[in-house]
Amino acid sequence: MPELVFFSGTMDCGKSTLALQIGHNRSARGLQGVIFTRDDRAGQGKLSSRLGLVTDAVEAEEGMDVYAHIVDRVSRGGKVDYVIVDEAQFLAPAQIDQLARVVDDLGLDVFAFGITTDFRTKLFPGSQRLMELADRIEALQVEALCWCGARATHNARTVGGEMVVEGAQVVVGDVNRQADEVGYEVLCRRHHRRRMTAETARAGALSPDVLPVAADG
Ligand SMILES: Nc1ncnc2c1ncn2[C@@H]1O[C@H](COP(=O)(O)OP(=O)(O)O)[C@@H](O)[C@H]1O
Ligand SMILES: Cc1cn([C@H]2C[C@H](O)[C@@H](COP(=O)(O)O)O2)c(=O)[nH]c1=O
């Protein structure tokens, strides 16, 4: 049975790498896929992984009907065996409904990859719709880690190394950015709640007025 599968996790846990691997293994067997993405760090129409691999993709722009895109491709004689969607959190809920229709009406597997929650721990609308509609939700096997060593479950946005909680939901960016840039850091829930990034924890440990993390951790 074809499925809509949502591979979800924090930033930097290997989602794009897995998306590329799934596409590679299928194309090695002669299958042809449509790869969608939205606002990848590498630029429009790209799916990139931090391991250095990048492939061309169709930019799922705002308002684009992804179901119609595939029907159009097939009606022009194109072969489509499966669909991959990276940065799926950025798609609109209506586009996720279109992906479900691709599974049900066209009989294609759809593999969607994305982060579930934003820097304020709120669901992205696209991810919420995926959780509502997916046949299967898969957590990535390789865990991203918080600076304390615990499994990272949340995404923090940082400015100058400090966690911020105000701002637009969508700001394309990366982990390990220079301290003065807007960046992201994955944290465990405990340290996300306390707004303790690697930078502020280090500063706290250096200050004689602050107790060590382990004492209140
Ligand atoms: N230099 C490296 N050597 C080995 N693995 C790396 C290296 N850099 C990044 N990675 C792996 O790549 C993962 C990030 O992959 P990526 O597909 O870009 O993540 P995501 O799409 O979830 O943000 C990291 O969690 C790590 O496991
Ligand atoms: C938490 C959070 C993230 N983003 C952006 C930052 C990146 O461009 C992508 C996530 O990409 P990845 O391949 O999973 O690392 O999402 C955002 O716009 N808003 C947020 O709150």
Spell out the domain ranges in the chain. 4-139, 154-208
* Ligand 1 nearest-atom number relative to CA 12: 23
165 close to ligand 2 (CB < 6 Angstrom): no
Tell me the pLDDT band of 217, cut-offs 50, 70 and 90.
Answer: very low
CA-closest candidate to residue 122, choices 63, 64, 192: 192
List, in sequence order, every beta strand (DSSP E) within 1-152: 4-9, 33-37, 46-48, 54-56, 58-59, 82-85, 109-115, 136-139
Residue 116 pLDDT > 90, yes or no? yes
* Ligand 1 nearest-atom number relative to CA 49: 18
86 close to ligand 2 (CB < 6 Angstrom): no
Question: For residue 215, what pLDDT is reported?
Answer: 46
Task: Give the pLDDT mean for 15-24.
Answer: 98
C-alpha 207 – ligand 1 centre gap (Å): 33
Question: For residue 204, what pLDDT is reported?
Answer: 78
Per residue in 33-83, pLDDT (tens digit) is 999 999 999 999 999 999 999 999 999 999 999 999 999 999 999 999 999
C-alpha 73 – ligand 1 centre gap (Å): 32
Question: For residue 5, what pLDDT is reported?
Answer: 98
C-alpha 131 – ligand 1 centre gap (Å): 24
Catalytic residues: 87
ipTM of the complex: 0.98
Task: Kindly report the protein residue whose alpha carbon is nearest to atom 13 of ligand 2.
Answer: 11
CATH of 4-139, one of 3.60.110.10, 3.40.50.300, 3.30.2290.10, 2.102.10.10: 3.40.50.300
DSSP percent split of the chain into helix, strand, coil, nearest 5: 30, 25, 45
- Ligand 1 pocket by Cβ (under 6 Å): 11-17, 49-51, 142, 144
Residue 210 pLDDT > 70, yes or no? no
Classified as helix, coil or strand, 107 is coil
Binding site for ATP: what residues are annotated?
9-16, 86-89
Residue 180 pLDDT > 50, yes or no? yes
Residue ranges in 39-171 assigned as alpha helix (H):
66-75, 93-106, 125-133
Residue 23 pLDDT > 70, yes or no? yes
* Ligand 1 nearest-atom number relative to CA 19: 17
How many C-beta neighbours within 10 Å does residue 66 have? 24
Distance separating alpha carbons of residues 207 and 45, to the nearest angstrom = 46
Residue 177 pLDDT > 70, yes or no? yes
Tell me if 39 sits within 8 A of 87, measured CB to CB: yes
| Tokens linked to 56 | 């061309």
16 close to ligand 2 (CB < 6 Angstrom): yes
